[in-house]
Amino acid sequence: MQSSRDIHRLIEIMAALRDPAGGCHWDLEQTFASIAPFTIEEAYEVADAIERGEADDLRDELGDLLLQVVFHARMAEEARLFDFGGVVEAITAKLIRRHPHVFGHAKSLDSEAVKALWGQIKANEKRLRIEARASAGLAPEAAGGALGHVPVALPALSRALKLQERAAKVGFDWNDVQAVLTKLREEIAEVEAEVSGGSRETLSAEVGDLLFAAANLARHLDVDPEAALRGANAKFARRFAHIEHRLAEGGRRPETADLEEMEALWVEAKKLERMRR
């Protein structure tokens, strides 16, 4: 097979990889569940390429993410659930339905009216989903609720943000940032109280509450906590690499240095970063 700009060639390649007679053994062994972690990982690779400003990497990572969609669609087609065309049809229908100010009767609406209409459309979609799931015999708690459609499989920090956003829409939220800061200090104090004598289970729960409160603070400050943490991770990795590099200049490794020396090199890395700004 030759490479192509045509999406149909990608679909053909995926079908060949899943062909029981001559396909790839690894691809044939995969299921929706086994592929799901790779789908999440590829989405993060896309975000990383965007943050690094690498257009070539972004193109490649978007291709990897697209492959995940094609992979899932192929497995669904084999199970006679839907195919790639059904995926495309569903998203195009959703885009048209949710943008009547572009494709329909609401082209004269201002931005506030469009926002209100968007909420009405999503509420109607939710109602229809609830009715469909109820008709299928699902329990009511599985079909609805303000938090009912926040995916459990989301990364924990992303899910915390989504849960808080959904709760805020129905009025369960702090009034201002200072209230959130007070809550954050309260959670820190509770962690401190458990450090000396608390059980591992209790300490884990308190740290979880602290992280949840930190995500809430980010939301109130209009900061994406996932992006903020990715930035902090990158900064830590960059500064630690400086420590390793400076030690390597003397033929040494971090294992041979004490904490005080490494802390001094960490401060040096911070000063260099400030100078380069």
Buried b (16+ CB within 10 A) or exposed e, 36-70: eeebeebeebbeebeeeeeeeebeebeeebebbbb
Nearest-Å Rg of the Cα atoms of the chain is 25
Q: What percent of the chain has pLDDT over 90?
A: 67
212: nearest Cα among 166, 155, 146, 160 = 160
Question: Rounded to a whole number, what is the largest CA-CA distance in the chain?
Answer: 71
Return phi, psi of residue 222, to 5°. Answer: 60, 40
Residue-level pLDDT at 115: 83
The mean-pLDDT minimum among 147-151, 212-216, 233-237, 254-258 falls in 147-151
Both tokens of 100, joined, read 């009547």
Q: Is 129 helix (H, G, I), strand (E, B) or coil?
A: helix
Q: What is the pLDDT of residue 143?
A: 46
Residue 149 confidence (pLDDT)? 75
> What band does 51 get if pLDDT is binned at 50, 70 and 90?
confident
CB 263, CB 240: distance < 8 Å: no
Supply the pTM of this predicted model.
Answer: 0.67
User: In Å, what is the CA distance from 188 to each residue of 61, 156, 184, 191, 214?
Assistant: 39, 19, 6, 5, 10
Nearest to 211 by CA among 230, 234, 187: 187
Domains and CATH numbers, the chain: 1-98 (1.10.287.1080), 101-144 (no CATH), 156-223 (1.10.287.1080), 227-276 (no CATH)
In terms of pLDDT, which residue wins out, 146 or 267? 267
Q: Fill in the amino acid letter for 168.
A: A
Of 110, 220, 126, residue with least CA distance to 174: 220
- The whole-angstrom separation of Cα 210 and Cα 68 is 34
What are the backbone dihedrals phi and psi of residue 51, each rounded to the nearest 5 degrees, phi first?
-65, -30
Poorest-pLDDT segment among 41-50, 139-148, 198-207 = 139-148
Relative orientation angle of helices 200-220 and 225-249, to the nearest 10 degrees: 110
Q: Please compute the mean of the pLDDT values over residues 254-272 and round it to a whole number.
A: 96
- Averaged confidence pLDDT in the chain: 91
Q: What percentage of the chain has pLDDT greater than the value 70?
A: 97
- Residue 178 burial (10 A CB sphere; 0-12, 13-18, 19+): exposed
* Candidate from 20-29, 117-126, 207-216 with smallest mean pLDDT: 117-126
- What backbone torsions phi and psi does residue 94 show, to the nearest 5 degrees? -65, -45
- pLDDT tens for 126-174 read 788 778 878 877 765 544 578 877 888 788 898 999 999 999 988 999 9
pLDDT tens column, 77-130? 999 999 999 999 999 999 999 998 888 888 888 888 888 888 888 888 878 877
Alpha-carbon gap, residue 34 to 75, rounded angstroms:
12
Residue ranges with strand state E in the chain: none
The pLDDT of residue 212: 97
Angle (CA) 272-275-277 rounded to 5° is: 115
Q: Where are the beta strands (DSSP E) in 122-235?
A: none
| Residue 177 and residue 185 in contact, taking contact as beta carbons nearer than 8 Å | no
At 58, the amino acid letter reads L
pLDDT of residue 1: 60
